[in-house]
Copies of this chain bind each other. A is one copy, B any other.
Amino acid sequence: MTFKVTILGSNSAIPTIRRNPTAQLVNHNERFFLVDCAEGTQLQLRKYKIKLQRINHIFISHLHGDHFFGLVGLISSMHLLGRKKELHIYGPARLKDILDIQLEASETTLAYPLIFHPLAPESRAVIYEDEKLTVSTIPLKHSIPTCGFLFKEKKGKRRIIKEMAQSLDIPVNDYPKIKNGEDFTDGTGKVYKNEEITGEPYPVRSYAYCSDTAYYEPVVPVIKDADLLYHETTFMQDMADVASAKLHSTTIEAASIAKLANVKKLIIGHFSNRYDNPMDLVIEARKVFSNTFLADDGKVFEIE
């Protein structure tokens, strides 16, 4: 089952020719989720050949412009391109007013239902759920209310052992019950225990996105053991004071969170424009957490 993250923007506040500010696309099981939406995100989607109408859920971490200024343009383009199906937006309550005033000023009535889900960034909550996935908020520490998002698979069903299914000639109609844990009785009345004919479900996978935040240990239990963590890293360690004052993180801080949380892989991004070569930040972070990678526009991270 697909589970991957495409980086659409990896810079902090100001867009550059090389790097757009924050946005990511999460593809889970061919469902597309947009996470943050800086100015220019709709063009990044085009550039990386992602069909924007496939996105049905958009999550906005906070109301700093480099995380949402592209949203109104994206929802307008979806409208102009003939969208009819629902679009769900999750973000701070004020975001709804910001979208409404702009649609109202342009006398635009969207041709599709826009369903807005106001978030309370300061508390943990499951905000999205389907049969295979939940998305929940990760409270963070920033200069305005901000949360990250944890994409976590639900525990799957037990898997029928192929050889057993064949040798016992289990009818396909019985599969759902067996996957749910029931035993199987064959034509002769013989009962096979569920544990004999099934194996453990696939392990659940998770992706944690920690948007703008200072070093903040309370996130550790929330993102514990995540397969993939994106953690902002605006500054190198020699600017720890500035990072702290601006409620952003350094390389070492992001890597320390990754280590404490025992995640499998760390992506760092949201770099200050002062850094010409963001690989320097990766090299520094690797001193604490070796499995650290660079967020780069267009890069795809698969979760295996």
Q: A73 and B77: CB pair below 8 A?
A: no
The answer to whether A81 and B14 touch across the interface, beta carbons within 8 angstroms, is yes
Contact B14 A105 (CB under 8 A): no
Q: Tell me if A184 is interfacial: C-beta within 8 Å of chain B.
A: no
Pairwise interchain contact A15-B39, C-beta atoms closer than 8 A:
no
Closest B residue to A92 by CB, please name it.
B105
Q: Which residue of B lies closest to A65 (CB)?
A: B76
Judge whether A102 and B65 touch: CB under 8 Å.
yes
Contact status B107-A98, CB under 8 Å: no
* Interface pick from A41-49, A195-203, A222-230, A250-258: A41-49
Q: Indicate whether A72 reaches chain B with its CB closer than 8 angstroms.
A: yes
Counted per complex, copies of this chain come to 2
Tell me whether B106 and A64 are in contact (CB under 8 A): yes
A14-B81, A77-B14 as given contacts; A98 in contact with B106, CB under 8 Å: no
Q: Which residues of B contact A102 (CB under 8 A)?
A: 63, 65, 69, 98
A144 close to B (CB within 8 Å): yes
Q: Which residues of B contact A77 (CB under 8 A)?
A: 13-15
Q: Give the residue of B16, B42, B101 whose beta carbon is less than 8 angstroms from that of A15.
A: B42
A17 within 8 A of B: yes
Q: Cβ of A144 and Cβ of B13 under 8 Å apart?
A: no
Q: Is the CB of B13 within 8 A of A80?
A: yes
Residue A94, interface by CB 8 Å: yes
Q: A94-B105, A102-B65, A105-B98 are in contact. Are A17 and B40 (CB under 8 A)?
A: no
| Contact A106 B73, beta carbon cutoff 8 Å | no
A13–B17 Cα distance when bound, in Å, is 22
Which of A39, A81, A98 has most chain B Cβ within 10 Å? A39
- Closest residue of B by beta carbon distance from A64: B106
Residues 212-248 of chain A: 1 if any B CB is under 8 Å from the residue's CB, otherwise 0? Answer: 0000000000000000000000000000000000000
Give, as a whole number of angstroms, the nearest-CB distance from A182 to chain B: 52
Q: Does A143 contact B (CB under 8 A)?
A: yes
Query: Is A163 located at the chain interface by the 8 A CB criterion?
Result: no
Residues of B within 8 A of A92 (CB): 105
- Tell me if A46 and B16 are in contact (CB < 8 A): yes
Tell me the minimal C-beta distance from A111 to chain B in angstroms.
14
**Which residues of B sit under 8 angstroms from A97, Cβ to Cβ?**
101
Beta-carbon contacts of A1-24 to B below 8 Å, as 1s and 0s? 000000000000111110000000
Extra pairs beyond A16-B43, A107-B143 (4, CB < 8 Å): A17-B43, A63-B106, A69-B69, A98-B102
| Pairs of residues from A and B, 9 with the lowest C-beta to C-beta distance, nearest first | A63-B105, A39-B73, A94-B105, A69-B73, A65-B76, A64-B106, A14-B77, A63-B106, A15-B43
